[in-house]
Amino acid sequence: MKKANREEIKQIHQLFIQNYSDAVTELTYKNSYELVIAVILSAQCTDKRVNLITPALFEKYPNPKALSLADIEDVKSLINSCSFFNNKAKNIIEMAKRVVETYGGEIPMDEKELVTLAGVGQKTANVVMIEYMGANLMAVDTHVFRVSHRLGLSNDKTAIATEATLVKKFKNNLRILHQGIVLFGRYICKAKNPKCDECFLTQYCKTKESFKVG
């Protein structure tokens, strides 16, 4: 696959900034506790689905203390329309316990601390920091992975390697770029039937229809 050159990377960067300068997550949350849970639940699940699940969950368990004492079967029943709900129920309860026991009930706003919480990997930690703190970080989900490959920005095999490549190539405005690429991949550069007629990056696309990834 042909790689984007330096000038193309610069143009792609500028076009994402122009088109998505106000982009934010589509997950609904009121505080850092709710955001962490929403991001954990969103793994391999749509934001729309998560937003349907979380109101009842947050009403019953409004803070880490309440969730740390929750019955796992009750939590499962509240999130059972979400993918991998058994594992996610266990993780969010364990996450809440650690937040209470180690961080005094406050979500730690530091990537290294966040990844010590159950259910929080590097991608989840970065998404939380990007959204809540406006951090200059990149997080790679399926949309970012797909778009970065289609545009010749990366040919890496993993999300973590793709993240490192995008950080190196873009350097700044990573928060806007992450949010923008997610929305672009979700609504325009879709895995199946991408809306090429609505795309503002067609001249930079290296793969057109040939690159299919979820």
Q: Choosing from 30, 60, 65, 123, which is the catalytic residue?
A: 123
Tell me whether residue 141 is one of the annotated catalytic residues.
yes
Nearest to 31 by CA among 131, 99, 102: 131
Tell me whether residue 156 is one of the annotated catalytic residues.
no
What six digits make up the tokens of 168?
A: 């190196």
Q: Using a CB cutoff of 8 Å and minimum separation of 24, what contacts does 40-44 make?
A: 40/88, 40/91, 40/92, 40/95, 40/119, 40/120, 40/124, 41/79, 41/82, 41/88, 41/92, 43/83, 43/84, 43/88, 43/124, 44/83, 44/84
Q: Choosing from 30, 47, 48, 141, which is the catalytic residue?
A: 141
Residue with tokens 């990377």: 9
Distance (Å, whole) CA 122 – CA 66: 26
Q: Please identify every residue annotated as catalytic.
A: 123, 141
